[in-house]
Amino acid sequence: MLADREGKIVALHTTLNEFPLAVAQANLNRSLQLGHKAAWWYSGTQLYQVVTQPFYDDAVSKSALSGTVVVGRRIDPAELGRISSSQIALRLGSNIVSSTLGPFRERELARHLTADGGLPKNVDIEGERFFAQSVDLTTSLQPVSIVVLKSYSVVFADLQKQNRLLAGLGLAAILMGVAVAFVISDRFTRPLGNLVAGVHALERNDYGYMLETSGTDEVADVTRAFDRMRKTLKSNEVQKQELENQLRQAQKMEAVGRLAGGVAHDFNNLLTVIKGHGDLMLDRLQSGEPFHFSAQQIDKAAVRGTALTRQLLAFSRMQVLQAKPLDLNTLVSEMSGS
């Protein structure tokens, strides 16, 4: 967004075309009045984080204000919810303006808000219990806060799964013990002892314990079956370790991608200001003036920086990069000219 020296908006561009001009003007007037360079603006449907930057006719003395540039981005609760694996709600003042909850759940959450805007640690929404935490992002006239809701059912899902697994293993152990009790005899004592030792070794994650699998009786069959099961468990353990390593590597790459995307966005904001000032200098300098060549180099550097941010964004979104031929003569000429 671009405003003139009186603070009137002269140009406004949004990606989704959802920010009314009158609402943007009201938000800009409030930010200019309070002197806030960083602020939170509400378009009526979405919450935006914005930064205002004045620019002057004389950048050194800053004596004559030419206008104001505003750059911002929409805060998407769905994206925050995917990152944190939780339900997210954004609150402006005492009103919830956006969330990952449905309309009915959002209204029910609003009923849990206290008179002073607080929120209890445990809330029940449509029969589901959540652990709630509210964090204030600003303390201005329009305080902005983010509410994180973690479902207890999700938290205890893994614990319940482990309990079911332990119950199944316990039942299997009881059945095996009852079966073994019926076939114990003197001639089975040694093979059975070997089998029990193998079980204890498996509990210690020792997969190399030697088992006596020879014979045709029931104990030998059980021993051979245990040996096959032990090999399967060992193979599964190896596969589990490989999958965990792959998952950690994927999480690292995802974290690097998010970091690169964040850096690219912030760097692009800086390049916008640099290129804007460079274009203003080129418009006001004639060819042959002392600083005209420097202004051209600033503009070229900003263009190259913009290309770099596009590459960083492509990397963070895991897009397939298209290779293209590079003219080395042109590249060398540009470098020698700078």
Q: What is the mean pLDDT of each run of 10 residues along the chain (338 residues)?
A: 89 82 88 82 80 81 82 78 72 74 77 69 79 70 73 73 85 83 62 72 70 70 76 82 87 78 80 85 82 84 83 69 75 66
Task: Tell me, yes or no, whether 64 and 108 share the same domain.
Answer: no
| Structural domain boundaries, residue 124 | 78-152
Percent of residues in the chain assigned helix, strand, coil, to nearest 5: 55, 20, 25
Task: Tell me, yes or no, whether 68 and 28 share the same domain.
Answer: yes
* Structural domain includes residue 127: yes
- The DSSP bridge partners found for residue 122 are 131
> 96 with 89: CB under 8 angstroms?
yes
* Structural domain includes residue 194: no
For residue 74, give the amino acid letter: R
What's residue 258's pLDDT?
78
What's residue 71's pLDDT?
93
* Structural domain includes residue 102: yes
Nearest Cα residue to 112 out of 91, 82, 85: 91
Task: Tell me, yes or no, whether 48 and 98 share the same domain.
Answer: no
What's residue 80's pLDDT?
66
Place of tokens 């899902």: 157
Tokens of 32: 């200019």
- Greatest alpha-carbon pair distance for the chain in Å reads 108
Task: Tell me, yes or no, whether 113 and 66 share the same domain.
Answer: no
Task: Tell me, yes or no, whether 44 and 104 share the same domain.
Answer: no
Task: Tell me, yes or no, whether 102 and 131 share the same domain.
Answer: yes
* Structural domain includes residue 34: yes
User: Considering 108, 131, 152, which residue would you say is the last residue of a domain?
Assistant: 152
Place of tokens 């916008």: 272
* Structural domain includes residue 83: yes
User: Considering 89, 119, 152, which residue would you say is the last residue of a domain?
Assistant: 152
* Structural domain includes residue 124: yes
Tokens of 256: 């690097």
3-state DSSP call for residue 150?
strand
Please tell me the total count of domains within the chain. 2
Nearest Cα residue to 301 out of 285, 277, 320: 277
Task: Tell me, yes or no, whether 18 and 43 share the same domain.
Answer: yes
What is the rounded CA–CA span in Å between residue 191 and residue 184? 11
What is the rounded CA–CA span in Å between residue 45 and residue 19? 9
User: Considering 94, 129, 152, which residue would you say is the last residue of a domain?
Assistant: 152
* Structural domain includes residue 216: no
Task: Tell me, yes or no, whether 29 and 17 share the same domain.
Answer: yes
* Structural domain includes residue 301: no
Task: Tell me, yes or no, whether 84 and 133 share the same domain.
Answer: yes
